[in-house]
């Protein structure tokens, strides 16, 4: 049984190699495209990639194969990614960690210059929720309460450097309040801590926490986006409720390695935007709390520069250190 | 009797031809990936994820759930046959299961694992049906202080894991602790002992450590011996467990079920810890603890029951609170979300077909798994007749694939090889790998929760004694310590 099987696998691999060199001259895309996700399977990033991949594959006429390469909040995947050939056969999903890593870790690549940004696929926001026993009912009350009890309030997060953590740091930075950060290993344990009242505050991913709020297990205060989320139009944003200019977005963007030819970037851009406009994809992304965007490569590059600069400021002010 | 009406309704849903087919597909696939070391339920469910877009919610979740608990059945197979933990939770099964196989009792070990899993799966499912929401609330009573005390108790009890020299056992636990703290510290966000290597920032994965210590080290040690390696089939003594085996395995399986069901509900601790805990418990309760590590059937029945019970009750936090206890659960929650189903406190009321259909399908699935696995026992045992020169390269290839598939990073494969070398050195020094693995799992959890508890109490250590559940664990820790120390002080520890 065994040797013939191995022979068959080898034969398959050899023929695949032969085929790929023969196809090098064919029009793009001539072979499957690797779609790198910087996290292990299971997170929202991974799910967003797996929602987009089948549709974009259909439009490109080639398979987009989702490949998980987890570790160091996308830094490991990015480092491997910038060294892949810029031929359009490897693309990557950028996650928020991508914008905070330059301030937290020593990176062996440039987070702007080594990438060809294709499009900001979707954005989601966090929802500030509190335990029902926690007195403040609005952003203004929360600020007043925090000023009266400096250093007494515990807030939970899904880990250092996550948007859950940084949403709270930005809030403190902009309002001059002081809370105590309690980090958990992932969103599940963090949410349990809030439900049990071990911590009082949490900036959770909208779809995850909204159902707890609807069931009366938590109280929703405000969302972190620039606009109210379609998932809960009755909840104000932090900015309109008393902290003007406050905005945290969890973004899901697509990029290629730098020096990828412009026609290939344009083709990928066109097909991703087309997929983002498909009704079934829109519906699925919105179900995950992510609003489809699909902007131009230039807009996405500017967005990324802005995000990196913003978080560098907050991380420095909060005194967060990575390595 | 509302429960019976609900269950009858659930079976009505689950027995539809479509749902039965997806349940069977799920458990069959689960068994397969469980047997293949390294290809875990997480990777499989991730790959099948897009398929669920085209399915209605109920069959989709029934299939994904089947893969998840089916993998727990299959996972024990390679642990027993070749000392290769197929899944995280079956690492403990290696200890006695592999020894049983070496004594020609691979068949009874495999059959016992399947039967214990079946029993535990049925009880676990019954628990979800009877008291899912209540048990879900129970998980919320576990704060940082409770976790710290629980981990401390487990760590003290871990001395039981050692077979021979207590000092060596302790050294192994400490070595495990050291390996465990590598990577980003949850509380401070600082990377520790990563030496600037980005791959070490997230720490060393469980699969890497377990496969390296058990499978790779075992193969290296085997290759060293000059005489041809024993062929097991020469002394295979029956495929099915004897009446005595069943009698010996019954109570351990029952106790394992209880322990596993409890751990399964706690998010983050999971099945791996439950199988360790129940193994230690059995060894402590056994009349002759020296049999453990030498092919005791209790050492297979109890952990296998525990990890399958935990695999069932892990659904409780997801279904009743909307909280995923692990990455695999997060994917299933994602699949439900994309179907427009909000898992959480309302799901029993809003989607009774999903809730009760899933529960009924778990019973059917567990039954299918036993029917599927028992006839396979003979086939698996035959696999051992494959000459060693074919078997060992295959095992190594699977080890590599398994470690690579988690992060698609060759670094993990090199690391596993390095740990294999460490494991070989430990074999030579007659040090047991199991306490190391336990220290590796428990140490970081204890540290994380201890520091969190003290952060929350603003540095007041009495928090461990003022919270009732924590106090109970503390008292139990002291009792365990006394029970273990007293005989050692009276008489020198008998070398096993």
The full DSSP string for B419-441 is HHHHHHHHHHTT--HHHHHHHHH
How much is the pLDDT for B328?
Answer: 82
Distance, in Å, from the CA atom of B78 to the CA atom of B210, rounded to the nearest integer, reads 13
Q: Which DSSP category does B240 fall into?
A: S
Distance, in Å, from the CA atom of B496 to the CA atom of A34, rounded to the nearest integer, reads 54
How much is the pLDDT for A23?
Answer: 47
Q: Work out the average pLDDT over A131-146.
A: 95
How much is the pLDDT for A135?
Answer: 95
Q: Report the gap between the CA of B397 and the closest CA in chain A (Å).
A: 11
b vs e for A58-68, b when ≥16 Cβ sit within 10 Å of the residue's Cβ?
A: eebebbbebeb
SS3 B139: helix
> What digits encode the pLDDT tens for the residues A33-53?
999 998 878 778 888 999 999
pLDDT of residue A211 exceeding 50: yes
Of residues B190, B198, B325, nearest to A71 (C-beta): B198
A63 contacts on B by Cβ (under 8 Å) = none
Do residue B187 and residue A212 have CB atoms under 8 angstroms apart? no
pLDDT of residue A9 exceeding 60: no
Q: Which residue of B has its CA nearest to A287?
A: B338
Of residues A42, A75, A280, nearest to B330 (C-beta): A42
Q: Which DSSP category does B241 fall into?
A: P
> What digits encode the pLDDT tens for the residues B386-401?
777 888 888 888 888 8
Do residue B201 and residue A184 have CB atoms under 8 angstroms apart? no
Cis peptide before A29 (omega within 30 of 0): yes
B325 contacts on A by Cβ (under 8 Å) = 188
How much is the pLDDT for A1?
Answer: 36
Of residues A160, A198, A280, nearest to B144 (C-beta): A198
Q: How confident is the model at residue B106 (pLDDT cuts 50, 70, 90)?
A: confident
Chain pair A-B, CB pairs under 8 angstroms:
161
Angle between helices B270-285 and B433-456 (to 10 degrees): 120
pTM of the complete model: 0.81
A195 contacts on B by Cβ (under 8 Å) = 140, 321, 323
How much is the pLDDT for B237?
Answer: 59
How much is the pLDDT for A116?
Answer: 95
What percent of chain B has a predicted confidence (pLDDT) above 90?
21
Q: Work out the average pLDDT over A174-185.
A: 92
Q: Report the gap between the CA of A298 and the closest CA in chain B (Å).
A: 30
B53 close contact with A: CB closer than 8 A: yes
A65 close contact with B: CB closer than 8 A: no
Q: Report the gap between the CA of B386 and the closest CA in chain A (Å).
A: 10
How much is the pLDDT for B227?
Answer: 59
B140 contacts on A by Cβ (under 8 Å) = 192, 195-196
Which of A150, A183, A204, A284 is most worth mutating to test chain B (most B CB atoms within 10 A of its CB)?
A183
Number of Cβ within 10 Å of residue B235's Cβ equals: 11
A40 close contact with B: CB closer than 8 A: yes
Q: Work out the average pLDDT over B240-253.
A: 88
Q: How confident is the model at residue B38 (pLDDT cuts 50, 70, 90)?
A: low
Of residues B325, B331, B407, nearest to A188 (C-beta): B325
Do residue B407 and residue A69 have CB atoms under 8 angstroms apart? yes
Which of A38, A58, A71 is most worth mutating to test chain B (most B CB atoms within 10 A of its CB)?
A71
Q: Which residue of B has its CA nearest to A53?
A: B50
- In this predicted model, which residue has the larger pLDDT, A315 or B139? A315
Q: Work out the average pLDDT over B162-191.
A: 82
- In this predicted model, which residue has the larger pLDDT, A235 or B132? A235
- In this predicted model, which residue has the larger pLDDT, A25 or A259? A259
What percent of chain A has a predicted confidence (pLDDT) above 70?
92
pLDDT of residue A7 exceeding 80: no
Of residues B321, B338, B407, nearest to A195 (C-beta): B321
Q: Work out the average pLDDT over A92-96.
A: 90
Do residue A217 and residue B345 have CB atoms under 8 angstroms apart? yes
B141 contacts on A by Cβ (under 8 Å) = 196
> What digits encode the pLDDT tens for the residues B311-369?
888 888 888 877 777 778 888 888 888 887 777 777 777 888 888 899 999 999 999 99
Q: Report the gap between the CA of B268 and the closest CA in chain A (Å).
A: 7
Return phi, psi of residue A116, to 5°: -110, 105
Do residue A196 and residue B202 have CB atoms under 8 angstroms apart? no
Residue that has been written with the tokens 């958990």 in this structure:
A184
CA angle B4, B7, B13 (to 5 degrees): 145
A159 close contact with B: CB closer than 8 A: yes
Q: Work out the average pLDDT over B368-372.
A: 90
pLDDT of residue A25 exceeding 80: no
Q: Work out the average pLDDT over B365-384.
A: 85
Of residues B142, B186, B345, nearest to A215 (C-beta): B345
B38: tokens are: 């390294």
Alpha helices in B266-297 (DSSP H): 270-285
How much is the pLDDT for B91?
Answer: 84
Do residue A192 and residue B139 have CB atoms under 8 angstroms apart? yes
Lowest mean pLDDT among A203-217, B142-156, B373-387: B373-387
The helix or strand, by DSSP H or E, that contains position A220, with its residue range, turns out to be strand A219-223
Confirm whether the ipTM is greater than 0.90.
no
Do residue B323 and residue A192 have CB atoms under 8 angstroms apart? yes
SS3 B267: coil
Q: Which of A131, A106, A221 is nearest to A167 (CA)?
A: A221
Q: Work out the average pLDDT over A261-281.
A: 95
Q: Work out the average pLDDT over B272-291.
A: 84
How much is the pLDDT for A74?
Answer: 85
pLDDT of residue B234 exceeding 60: no
Is B115 exposed, middle or buried, given 0-12, 13-18 or 19+ CB atoms closer than 10 A? buried
B477: tokens are: 């820790």
Do residue B330 and residue A43 have CB atoms under 8 angstroms apart? yes
How much is the pLDDT for B270?
Answer: 65
Q: Which residue of A has its CA nearest to B444?
A: A185
- Mean pLDDT of chain B, nearest integer: 83
> What digits encode the pLDDT tens for the residues B436-483?
888 888 888 889 899 999 999 998 989 899 999 899 989 988 988 887
Q: Report the gap between the CA of B251 and the closest CA in chain A (Å).
A: 33
Q: Report the gap between the CA of A159 and the closest CA in chain B (Å).
A: 7
A184 contacts on B by Cβ (under 8 Å) = 186
The full DSSP string for B104-134 is T-HHHHHHHHHHHHHHHHHHHHHHHHHHHHH
Backbone CA torsion sign across B422, B36, B372, B387: negative
Q: Which residue of B has its CA nearest to A1?
A: B386
């Amino acid at each position: 049984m065994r040797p013939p099987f191995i022979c068959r696998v080898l034969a398959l691999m050899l023929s695949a190699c032969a085929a790929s060199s023969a196809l090098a001259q064919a029009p793009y895309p001539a072979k499957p495209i690797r779609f790198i996700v910087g996290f292990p399977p299971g997170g929202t990033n991974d799910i967003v990639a797996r929602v987009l991949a089948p549709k974009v594959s259909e439009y490109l006429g080639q398979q987009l194969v989702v490949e998980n390469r987890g570790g160091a909040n996308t830094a490991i995947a990015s480092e491997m990614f910038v060294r892949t050939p810029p031929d359009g056969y490897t693309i990557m999903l950028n996650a928020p960690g991508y914008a905070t890593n330059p301030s937290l870790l020593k990176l062996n690549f440039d987070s702007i210059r080594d990438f060809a940004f294709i499009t900001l696929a979707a954005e989601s926001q966090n929802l500030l929720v509190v335990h029902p026993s926690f007195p403040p009912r609005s952003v203004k009350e929360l600020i007043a309460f925090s000023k009266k009890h400096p250093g007494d309030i515990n807030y939970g997060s899904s880990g250092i450097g996550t948007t859950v953590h940084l949403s709270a740091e930005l809030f403190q930075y902009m309002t001059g309040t002081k809370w105590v950060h309690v980090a958990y290993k992932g969103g599940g344990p963090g949410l349990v801590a809030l439900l049990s009242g071990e911590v009082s505050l949490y900036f959770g991913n909208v779809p995850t926490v909204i159902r707890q709020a609807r069931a009366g297990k938590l109280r929703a205060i405000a969302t972190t986006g620039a606009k109210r989320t379609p998932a809960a139009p009755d909840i104000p944003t932090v900015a309109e409720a008393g902290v003007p200019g406050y905005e945290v977005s969890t973004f899901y963007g697509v990029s290629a390695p730098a020096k990828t030819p412009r026609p290939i970037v344009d083709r990928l851009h066109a097909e991703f935007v087309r997929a983002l406009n498909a009704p079934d994809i829109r519906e699925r992304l919105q179900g995950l709390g992510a609003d489809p965007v699909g902007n131009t490569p230039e807009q996405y590059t500017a967005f990324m520069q802005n995000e990196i600069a913003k978080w560098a400021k907050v991380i420095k002010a909060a005194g967060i250190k990575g390595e | 009797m509302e429960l019976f009406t609900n269950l009858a309704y659930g079976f009505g849903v689950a027995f539809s031809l479509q749902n039965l087919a997806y349940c069977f597909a799920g458990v069959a696939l689960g068994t397969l990936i469980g047997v293949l070391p390294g290809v875990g339920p997480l990777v499989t469910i991730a790959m099948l994820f897009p398929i669920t877009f085209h399915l209605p919610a109920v069959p989709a979740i029934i299939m994904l759930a089947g893969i998840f608990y089916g993998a727990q059945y299959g996972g024990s197979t390679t642990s027993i046959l070749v000392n290769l933990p197929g899944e995280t939770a079956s690492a403990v099964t290696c200890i006695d299961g592999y020894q049983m196989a070496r004594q020609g009792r691979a068949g009874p070990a495999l059959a016992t694992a399947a039967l214990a899993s079946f029993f535990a799966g049925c009880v676990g499912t019954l628990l979800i049906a009877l008291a899912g929401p209540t048990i879900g609330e129970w998980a919320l009573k576990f704060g940082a202080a409770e976790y710290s005390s629980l981990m401390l108790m487990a760590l003290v009890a871990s001395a039981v894991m050692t077979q021979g020299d207590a000092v060596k056992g302790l050294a192994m636990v400490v070595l495990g602790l050291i390996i465990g703290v590598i990577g980003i510290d949850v509380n401070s966000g600082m990377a520790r002992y990563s030496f600037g290597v980005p791959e070490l920032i997230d720490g060393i994965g469980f699969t890497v450590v377990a496969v390296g210590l058990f499978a790779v080290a075992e193969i290296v040690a085997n290759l060293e011996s000059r005489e041809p390696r024993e062929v097991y089939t020469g002394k295979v003594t029956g495929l099915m467990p004897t009446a005595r085996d069943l009698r010996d395995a019954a109570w351990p399986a029952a106790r394992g079920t209880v322990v596993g069901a409890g751990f399964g509900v706690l998010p983050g601790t999971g099945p791996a810890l439950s199988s360790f805990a129940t193994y230690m418990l059995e060894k402590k309760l056994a009349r002759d603890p020296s049999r453990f590590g030498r092919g005791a059937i209790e050492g297979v029945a109890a952990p296998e029951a525990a990890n399958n019970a935990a695999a069932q009750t892990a659904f409780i936090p997801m279904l009743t609170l909307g909280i995923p206890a692990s990455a695999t659960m997060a994917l299933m929650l994602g699949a439900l979300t994309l179907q427009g189903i909000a898992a959480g406190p309302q799901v029993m009321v809003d989607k009774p077909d999903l809730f009760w259909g899933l529960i009924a399908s778990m019973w059917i699935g567990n039954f299918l798994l036993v029917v599927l696995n028992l006839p396979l026992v003979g086939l698996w045992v035959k696999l051992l007749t494959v000459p060693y020169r074919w078997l060992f390269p295959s095992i190594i290839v699977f080890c590599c694939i398994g470690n690579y598939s988690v992060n698609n990073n060759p670094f993990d494969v090199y690391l596993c090889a390095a740990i294999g070398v460490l494991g070989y050195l430990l074999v030579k020094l007659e040090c047991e790998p199991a306490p190391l693995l336990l220290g590796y799992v428990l140490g970081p959890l204890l540290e994380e929760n201890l520091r969190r508890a003290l952060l929350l109490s603003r540095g007041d250590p009495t928090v461990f004694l003022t919270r009732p559940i924590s106090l109970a664990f503390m008292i139990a820790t002291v009792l365990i310590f006394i029970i273990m120390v007293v005989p050692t002080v009276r008489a020198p520890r008998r070398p096993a």
